[in-house]
């Protein structure tokens, strides 16, 4: 099957480059136009109330604060621990390892975020989906998730998977609405029961 990532000599499967941020949305557009034969407009172009862009190291403090606030608001905060180590090394864990980390900016303020990281050559894991409580109900989580899916396809992934806790009902609703199927509910971690979801992209 045609894979948009094969259009360029740049191998997105094995890392990043200074041009990756611009190539991935372009590859996604090519994929929709040639393979799916349907018009494509990036989520970034459709919504002007929130700009979606790639994480920059200067965003670290705002991202960390949003992460904690989002979990506290959902009742899923378990304190700081090694389970948060990826957020202290976003470039290495995500951006330089065939992953993505996006932030949503409204009037100069980061109000949403989401990411995926490589699991294997075909699978990527959705991580760190957060929307500031003051901005719930505006579809910003949907925007972030859709853009992550587009970029995952452009990087050549065919399956997305994730986990969320049983008490995070809004997150579960978002994933189910977007075609994620529950695959299990057996893992108990830090006092929370985890639900596992998966979605095939191609």
Look at residue 42 and tell me whether its pLDDT is greater than 80.
no
Q: For residue 44, what pLDDT is reported?
A: 46
Structural domain harbouring 113: 4-33+41-161
Can you tell me the distance from the alpha carbon of 25 to that of 186, in angstroms, rounded to the nearest whole number? 36
Q: For residue 17, what pLDDT is reported?
A: 46
Mean pLDDT of the chain: 83
112-138, pLDDT tens digit by residue?
A: 999 999 999 999 999 999 999 999 999
Look at residue 154 and tell me whether its pLDDT is greater than 80.
yes
Average pLDDT on 45-61 reads 85
Tell me the CATH number at 9: 3.40.630.30
Quick one: CA torsion of 183, 121, 151, 56, rounded to 10 degrees?
A: 110
- Residue 89 resides in a domain: yes
Query: Full-prediction pTM beyond 0.85?
Result: no
Counting DSSP H helices and E strands in the chain, the numbers are: 6, 7
Specify the number of domains making up the chain. 1
- Residue 194 resides in a domain: no
- Residue 48 resides in a domain: yes
168-190, pLDDT tens digit by residue?
A: 999 999 999 999 999 998 766 56
79-109, pLDDT tens digit by residue?
A: 788 889 999 999 999 999 999 999 999 999 9
- Residue 127 resides in a domain: yes
Q: pLDDT grade, residue 34 (50/70/90)?
A: low
- Residue 192 resides in a domain: no
- Residue 93 resides in a domain: yes
- Residue 83 resides in a domain: yes
Q: How many CA atoms lie within 13 A of 38 on its CB side?
A: 5
């Amino acid at each position: 099957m045609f894979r948009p990532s094969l259009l360029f000599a740049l191998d997105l499967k094995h890392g990043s480059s200074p041009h990756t941020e611009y190539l991935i949305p372009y590859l996604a557009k090519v994929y929709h136009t040639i393979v799916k034969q349907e018009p494509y407009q990036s989520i970034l172009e459709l919504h002007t109330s929130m700009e979606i862009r790639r994480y920059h190291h200067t965003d670290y403090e705002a991202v960390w604060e949003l992460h904690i606030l989002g979990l506290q608001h959902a009742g899923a905060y378990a304190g700081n621990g090694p389970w948060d180590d990826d957020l202290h090394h976003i470039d290495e864990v995500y951006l330089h390892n065939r992953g993505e980390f996006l932030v949503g900016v409204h009037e100069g303020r980061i109000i949403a975020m989401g990411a995926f990281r490589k699991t294997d050559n075909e699978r990527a894991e959705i991580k760190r989906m957060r929307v500031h409580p003051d901005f719930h109900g505006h579809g910003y989580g949907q925007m972030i998730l859709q853009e992550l899916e587009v970029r995952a396809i452009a990087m050549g992934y065919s399956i997305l998977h994730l986990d969320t806790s049983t008490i995070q009902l809004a997150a579960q609703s978002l994933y189910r609405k977007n075609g994620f199927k529950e695959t299990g509910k057996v893992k108990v971690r830090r006092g929370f029961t985890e639900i596992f979801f998966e979605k095939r992209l191609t």
